[in-house]
């Protein structure tokens, strides 16, 4: 299975996944256009030897990273109760306690503070999924 997935994204057949190939894999597997910060974080977390390309072994790490991102996207979806594409302060506040109690082993209080600080006293301000993922995915994998 891992070999076939790796081969699918190793488009030029050189035995490694280049930046362009990784970007395409992210786009397809996550079902979204990855923004630069997200792409850089995934690449950094997966590229153990820091040579700018992923070996088959390094690419196997990407599966766990994708699962982490998908889980965070699902959390955002749960918090965005009105499906507006943004999480309001009230939506965040209602779900935050449950989320942080359930996931305290993985996400520390600093992330909760970053999410709270995003609103900076403006309870009418919304948070988009990209902003949420930037905060939550930073060093979580």
Q: For residue range 9-18, what is the model confidence (pLDDT) as tens digits?
A: 999 999 999 9
Q: pTM for the full model? A: 0.70
Tell me which fold the domain 2-136 belongs to.
Recoverin; domain 1 (1.10.238)
- What ranges do the domains of the chain cover? 2-136
Q: For the chain, how long is the longest CA-to-CA vector?
A: 52
10: helix, strand or coil: coil
Compute how many other C-beta atoms are within 10 angstroms of the C-beta atom of residue 84. 11
The helix (H) or strand (E) run that includes residue 104 is none
Q: Tell me what pLDDT residue 22 has.
A: 93
105: helix, strand or coil: coil
Strands of the chain (E only): list them.
86-88, 126-128
48: helix, strand or coil: coil
């Amino acid at each position: 299975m891992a070999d076939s997935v790796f081969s699918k994204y190793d488009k030029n057949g050189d035995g490694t996944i280049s930046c362009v190939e990784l970007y395409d894999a992210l786009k397809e597997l996550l079902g979204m256009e990855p923004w630069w910060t997200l792409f850089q974080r995934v690449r950094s977390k997966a590229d153990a030897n820091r040579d700018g390309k992923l070996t088959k072994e390094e690419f196997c790490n990407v599966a766990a990273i994708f699962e982490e991102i998908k889980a965070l996207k699902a959390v955002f979806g749960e918090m965005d109760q009105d499906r507006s594409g943004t999480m309001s302060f009230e939506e965040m506040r209602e779900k935050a306690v449950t989320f942080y109690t359930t996931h305290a082993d993985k996400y520390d209080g600093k992330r909760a503070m970053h999410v709270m600080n995003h609103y900076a006293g403006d309870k009418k301000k919304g948070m988009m999924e990209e902003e949420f993922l930037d905060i939550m995915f930073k060093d979580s994998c």
